């Protein structure tokens, strides 16, 4: 499988999710803290899809 660079929008969404997830893990935010792991997981999964699927 040939990898390609993700689109700018995919990379930006992934970055925002990762930052929000890290903030939820480091600072106690009632809504985000329980979901911190899944937010970071989703960020990396979106980034993985962006590099694996052409045009994503």
Segment 16-37, tens digit of pLDDT: 999 999 999 999 999 999 999 9
Q: Domain count for the chain, please give it.
A: 1
Tokens of 21: 């997830």
- pLDDT of 54 reads 83
Direct distance between the N- and C-terminal alpha carbons of the chain, in angstroms, rounded to an integer: 15
Reply yes or no on whether the pLDDT at 56 is more than 90. no
> What is the residue-averaged pLDDT of the chain?
93
Reply yes or no on whether the pLDDT at 1 is more than 80. no
pTM beyond cutoff 0.85? yes
Residue 42 within a domain:
no
- Top pLDDT among 1 and 47 is at 47
Domain range enclosing 21 = 1-32
């Amino acid at each position: 499988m040939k990898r390609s660079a993700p689109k700018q929008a995919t990379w930006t969404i992934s970055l925002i999710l990762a930052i929000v997830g890290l903030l939820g893990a480091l600072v106690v935010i009632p809504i985000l803290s329980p979901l911190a792991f899944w937010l970071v997981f989703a960020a990396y999964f979106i980034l993985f899809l962006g590099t694996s699927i052409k045009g994503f």
